[in-house]
Amino acid sequence: MKVDVLTLFPAMFAGPMNESILRRAQESGRLELAMHNLRDWTHDRHRKVDDEPYGGGPGMVLKPEPIFEAIEELKGESTQVIMMTPQGEPFKQAKARELAGHGHLLLLCGSYEGFDERVRTWVHHELSIGDYVLTNGGLPAMVVIDAITRLLPGVLGDDESSAEESFSGNTLEYPQYTRPADFRGMKVPEVLLGGDHGAVEDWRSKQAESRTRKRRPDLKKDDNDDLNEGKQT
């Protein structure tokens, strides 16, 4: 997969994008990642990318000209353009799986008061990672890239690892234990020590359901909403 990122702060990505799984994914050729400074598509002496909003109001708005030129240069026939914005749909695991199926993603990182509305004529997906305010779209873009990269074939070594993680089936992951079996009086459940794989799977399934309903009941509501939508005619 190829991922291009259009941002005013490309240096933000240097550390997180070059560690752990993301580094190995790039070294193996499964991920091609490039950061682009939006100012490279300006034509004035001050490399200006923003201006005052029409109609007045606080802050500055990202101008359409450099963004349009950058997209036109970086975009291919199958590119999916993604805008990182608080107004976007909540980014969830299902969306990560959808995006992992594309060959080329172009992420637009907002700053200031956001994008000139006309930029949206290029956009296929608008994503938000949560209902809070961040300095710019760089951190959300990193989150999206990380979540998607883990789903690329061969990146984790064992592709089943991503299938069993939290949110993969609208449930949280079941409790995990490792050695020692008894630590300061806290014992590993007997079912995990007995070698009965069927019993282990049943225990894990029930634990995942119980934990999800207790900690994130909204995930089960999403399940019911999906089911009800499927019944509509």
What is the pLDDT of the chain when averaged over all its residues?
A: 92
For 149, the token pair is 């990269």
Cβ pair 93, 168 in contact under 8 A: yes
Per-residue pLDDT at 227: 47
Distance from C-alpha of 92 to C-alpha of 94, rounded to nearest angstrom: 5
- This prediction has a pTM of 0.88
Q: What is the mean pLDDT of each run of 10 residues along the chain (233 residues)?
A: 98 97 98 98 97 96 98 97 96 97 98 95 98 95 98 84 64 95 97 97 96 93 60 46
For residue 99, what are the CA distances in angstroms to 40, 131, 135, 175? 27, 21, 25, 28
DSSP state of 131: S
pLDDT, one tens digit per residue, over 127-184 is 999 999 999 999 999 999 999 999 999 999 866 565 666 566 789 999 999 999 999 9
For residue 6, what are the CA distances in angstroms to 11, 16, 183, 190, 193? 12, 16, 49, 52, 50
Q: Is 4 helix (H, G, I), strand (E, B) or coil?
A: strand
DSSP H helices in the chain:
20-27, 64-74, 93-100, 138-149, 160-163, 197-215, 217-231
Q: Do β-strands 186-187 and 182-183 pair in parallel, antiparallel, or remain unpaired? A: antiparallel
Domains contained in the chain, CATH given: 2-149 (3.40.1280.10), 164-231 (1.10.1270.20)
